[in-house]
Every structure is written in C-alpha cells, then in structure tokens.
Amino acid sequence: MGKPTGFIEYLRELPVDRAPLERIRDWKEFHHHMEEKRLRQQAARCMDCGVPFCHTGKLLNGSASGCPINNVIPEWNDLIYRGLWREALERLHMTNNFPEFTGRVCPAPCEGSCVLGINDPPVTIKSIEAAIIDRGWEEGWVVPEPPKVRTGKRVAVIGSGPAGLAAAAQLNRAGHSVTVLERADRPGGLLMYGIPNMKLDKREVVERRLKLMEQEGIKFVCNANVGENVEPQLLRRDFDAIVVCTGATRPRDLPVPGRELQGVHFAMDYLTASTKALLDGDPANAPFHARDRDVVVIGGGDTGTDCVATAMRHGCRSLTQIEIMQKPPLERAEDNPWPEWPRIYKLDYGQEEAAAKFGADPRAYLTTVKRFNGDEFGHVKEVVTVQVSWQKNDQGRFVPVEVPGTEKVHPAQLVLLAMGFLGPEQGLVQDLALETDPRSNIKAEHGKYATSVPGVFAAGDCRRGQSLIVWAINEGRGAARECDRYLMGFTELP
C-alpha cells in the first residue's frame, strides 16, 4: 500500500448526507460527495493486511462475508490514494459491471469483513466505490464498448434486474446477440421499480447505464411478459440459449384476520406504484398514497426501510414499523464474530428520517400482528399487535410466543407488508418445464447455472432465493460464462 500507516493516522469518515427533514421534501438522492483529498485519506486506511477478507465472497452463518463479486478492493484503494482514478476504475470494472448500483444500494458485506474492522471502524469501501464510478462518468471514461466480432448466436435474457443485466452485458461482450425481455414498461427490474429514486436515481444512474448497454448492441424489449404475451416455446425456437433472471418476486403474506381489507398492500406493489408515478411525472398520483395517513410497515430489512422512506416523502401522518425480531446489540455479540456480517443496531436512512420527523426510531421490536380491524366501508383502520418472546419448542427450535397482556392497537389507514419473498413466480417456470428445488427456486447448480432443460440457464434470486444485489451480479456473470461455454464449446469470460 502507498500509505502503510494510513489506518493509524486517519479516522473513518463518510460523506455527509442531506439533512433528513430537507430530503423528505423531494425524491433526489440523499448522499453528498466527499472531496478528493478526504477520499484519498479514506482509501489510505486500507492497511495492506496480507489476507484481504474484503473480497472473499463467502457465506458465513447464513450471511455474506466479503464481496460476492470479488472486487479487488485493496488494489483500487491503493490507486485512489495515489490519485490514479482511471486505473482504479479499470480495476473496478474488471469484476463489477455496475459499480454505480452497488456503490449506492449494496449493504457492503465487504466492510463487515474488513480486517481493520476487527478492532477499529472498517474502511469506507462502499463510498469509495461510488466515488470511483461517478468520477468515471463525469470524466467521460465510461464509454460504449461493443464487441469487435459477433458470433452469430442469439441469447434471450428473461428479466432485466441486476442478474439479467449482468448476464446480458457479459454475453454481449462475448459477441452474442442479446435480447433482454422485461415484463414492465421500463427495463431495470428491481433497480428501476423495487428501489426508490432517492436511493438510486432512475434517470441519472439507471437509465444512463441502460442507454450505454443499448449502444453496445443489447436489445431491450419491454411489456414482454413471457408466458402471457410472449410464448416461451417460441423463445426456445428462435434463440440458441435462454437465461432466466426473473427474481424472487412472490411475496410472503400475512394470514391474519382482516388481511382482505382495503389499504393492506404488499411492499413491492407500493414501491413500484410510487416510482412509476414519479417517473410518469406525477408523484402525487400514486394509486397507494400515504399522504395524511397513519402508516404501519410490517417487516424490516431494506424493503421495509424503503417503504418507511417513501411514506415519509408522501407526507404520512404517523409511521410505525413492526419487527418480530429483537433489537440488535450496539456491538457484535459473542456468537457474531468477525468476519461474519455484523448483526448490530443501525438507524438506516428511512428510520433516520422518521425519527427526525416524529421524534423516535419508528421500529417496535419483538412485536407481531394479531389482526387488522376495518371500518364500515371495508378499509383498514387499525393494526392490533402483541409482543412476543423467542422460546425453544419441542424440536429445540426458537419460535415466537405471545406475551399475555401486551396487545396494542395502532391506527392505520395504510399497511405495507415487507416480510420478504418466497421464491420466483411459478408460471414461467412451469411453462419452460424447469425443475425446481424444495424451496420452489429454479434448480440449477451454483457455478454451472444449467437448468433441467438444455440451453436454459438460471441466475440470481430465481435460482438462489431472495438475496443481495452483489449475489445477483455474481450469478448473472457466472450464468453468462456457462452459457457462452454451452454455445461455443469454450469461454474466455471471467
């Protein structure tokens, strides 16, 4: 490293975010940029640790440890410290097709396994990554790179989320003619409609990358719902290979009394409708709106946080977030050692905004929903909750048990279910006669990505279940590599 003592000399610093009460008045991204001098100091904290766990990309205790796309983080940290921004961008693009996405929305498992993080705050890897790619776009270094030679092979990619885009980019790089089929009216999948604009700007960030991919020769076809208005078997006839990247979009429901009431919605329906209204030019016209309503978000994670932040921008009257798990500790517990993902308490951007507006973190921990109460018009008006404790059952597994006398009634005219996803929607899977695993995901061995149907590959959440954007990119790249091998008999894709 260019600065062997940097981790001793400099404290961890992050770019300053826009003030919560200011940013909830618009839909713009909430992160500010950090000046170059301070960014180089942050890169200097990378400590030449010898065994850089930050780019290992392993699963430890059920969570990612290190970067699943194996970004060579120490190399580009060193280059940034030396002021070699373009060279740093080249290193970053070696492993990551879309660093402007991951630098904004990835939870940064790389930082959780940073060796410096054993006894000090870890290197600010995520913000440095975002700064590198943003500098690349500003300087004009990110340009279309269409393949010099075409192979004559045609590949259909179903789904344009991060896995589908990564597969398409890599297959196009190999010289194949790639068509990406997206059932929504805009390409981008989860990146376009599943993540709010203030977290990932659609026009300035997502559409910019999509336009570059089109300039490289990739064709996007929207409103193409395979199995509905696109015949799956015709795809098999017209293309030499198919890569399925449809995600895990089947939401987990909450079967309690009153679930059928109006005003109870799945989180992704709410987020999609909100972003579509914004992009169509009338954010106030979203079909599910939180303005002047008491909002209850059920479930945590990134989706729950995004619902909180979206409701804040809609102008909700109050906001409560229900979490069945206990409040995490402020520091790693003994059963959560480095380099595992640190399961510690944090105030994410949505909760920070709710706390600034209403005076406290909106989350109610160790709480579950018993029922929804409705009004005379069939619309939800209240959420009845009860506290739980986690106890071992007869099989030795921890289960939530209601605590008597802890029922509470929350006013609610809008309820958002953000409890995760169960797997891919089964229509397309059945239409293509793809074998599934016990969890209903498409069965395809990790590293090979080949399904039970020759010439059909699967990658991302539809294969592995709900996961991180970096795992989706990892799998999209891997499926492209194996698809290229299937088409050509060999592959040079990384």
The DSSP bridge pattern shows strands 380-392 and 367-374 to be antiparallel
**Position 184: which residue type?**
A
Domain 6-139 has CATH 2.30.40.10: no
Nearest to 81 by CA among 13, 3, 4, 11: 3
The answer to whether 366 and 373 have CB atoms below 8 angstroms apart is no
Q: Stretch 6-25: mean pLDDT, rounded?
A: 96
pLDDT in tens, 464-492: 999 999 999 999 999 999 999 999 999 99
DSSP H or E stretch at residue 177? strand 177-181
The per-residue pLDDT for 217 is 98
| Residue pair 433/454 in contact by the 8 Å Cβ criterion | no
- pLDDT at residue 283, as a whole number: 86
Would you state the structure tokens that stand for residue 440, as one six-digit string? Answer: 């209903």
CATH fold of the domain at 253-419: FAD/NAD(P)-binding domain (3.50.50)
Pair of tokens at residue 88? 């740093």
The architecture (CATH level 2) of 154-249+422-488 comes to: 3-Layer(bba) Sandwich (3.50)
Strands (E), 261-303: 264-266, 294-298
Question: Residue 328 has what pLDDT?
Answer: 96
Q: Write down the pLDDT at residue 172.
A: 98
At residue 338, the pLDDT reads 95
Can you tell me the mean pLDDT for 263-286? 94
pLDDT at 432 over 90: yes
Residue 309 has pLDDT above 90, yes or no: yes
**Mean pLDDT across 219-244:** 95
pTM for the predicted model, two decimal places: 0.96
Domain limits, CATH 1.10.1060.10, in the chain: 6-139
Distances (CA, A) of 114 to 11, 60, 119, 148, 345: 15, 14, 10, 39, 18
108 has a pLDDT exceeding 90: yes
pLDDT in tens, 434-461: 999 999 999 999 999 999 999 999 999 9
Share of the chain above pLDDT 90, in %: 94
Distance in angstroms (rounded) separating the CA atoms of residues 448 and 123: 33
Across the chain, what does the average pLDDT equal? Answer: 96
User: In this structure, are residues 308 and 32 in contact, taking their beta carbons and an 8 Å threshold?
Assistant: no
Res 365: pLDDT: 98
Quick one: average pLDDT of 350-367?
98
What are the distances in angstroms from CA 409 to CA 378, 403, 412? 18, 15, 9
CA distance 345 to 337: 15
The helix/strand/coil state of 454 is coil
| Other beta carbons less than 10 A from residue 474's beta carbon | 27
Specify the pLDDT at position 43.
96
Q: Is the model's pLDDT at 284 over the cut of 90?
A: no
CA dist 131 and 10 (Å) reads 19
Mean pLDDT of 145-158: 98
Least confident of 140-149, 279-288, 389-398: 279-288
SS3 assignment, position 216: coil
What type of residue is 465?
A: G
Query: Over pLDDT 70: what percentage of the chain?
Result: 100
**Phi, then psi, of 295 in degrees rounded to 5:** -110, 135
Position 228, amino acid: E
pLDDT at 392 over 80: yes
- β-partners of residue 450 are 457
| Inter-CA distances, 244 with 87, 99, 117, 151, Å | 34, 22, 37, 21
Does residue 2 carry a pLDDT above 80? no
Q: What is the pLDDT of residues 242-269, one digit of tens each?
A: 999 999 999 999 999 999 999 999 999 9
CA distance 120 to 115: 9
Q: Are 45 and 8 in contact (CB under 8 A)?
A: no
How does residue 155 score in pLDDT terms, banded at 50, 70 and 90? very high
Q: What are the tokens at 377? A: 């018009």
Locate tokens 């790089």: which residue?
173
Q: Is the pLDDT of residue 48 over 80?
A: no
Token pair belonging to 268: 């992704």
Per-residue confidence at 335, pLDDT binned at 50, 70, 90? Answer: very high
Strand partners, 294: 318
Judge whether 84 and 2 are in contact, CB under 8 Å: no
Domain with CATH 3.50.50.60 in the chain: 154-249+422-488, 253-419
Give the Cα separation of 106 and 99 in Å (integer): 10
The mean pLDDT value for 101-124 works out to 96
DSSP helix/strand/coil, 30: coil
> What amino acid is encoded at 49 in this protein?
C
What is the predicted pLDDT for the residue at 47? Answer: 87
pLDDT above 80 (res 312): yes
Place of tokens 């960014």: 39
Rounded-to-integer distance, Cα 192 and Cα 44, Å: 34
Does the pLDDT at position 3 exceed 90? Answer: no
Q: Determine contact, residues 477/494, Cβ cutoff 8 Å.
A: yes
Rounded Cα gap, residues 296 and 294, in angstroms = 7
Instruction: State the pairing for strand pair 63-65/154-158.
Output: unpaired
Mean pLDDT confidence for 376-403? 96
Q: Please, where are the H alpha helices in 200-264?
A: 207-215, 232-238
What pLDDT, on a 0 to 100 scale, did the predictor assign at position 38?
96
Tokens 């074998």, located at residue = 435
Separation CA 433–CA 167 (nearest Å) = 22
Q: What does the chain come to in residues? A: 494
pLDDT for the residue numbered 286: 87
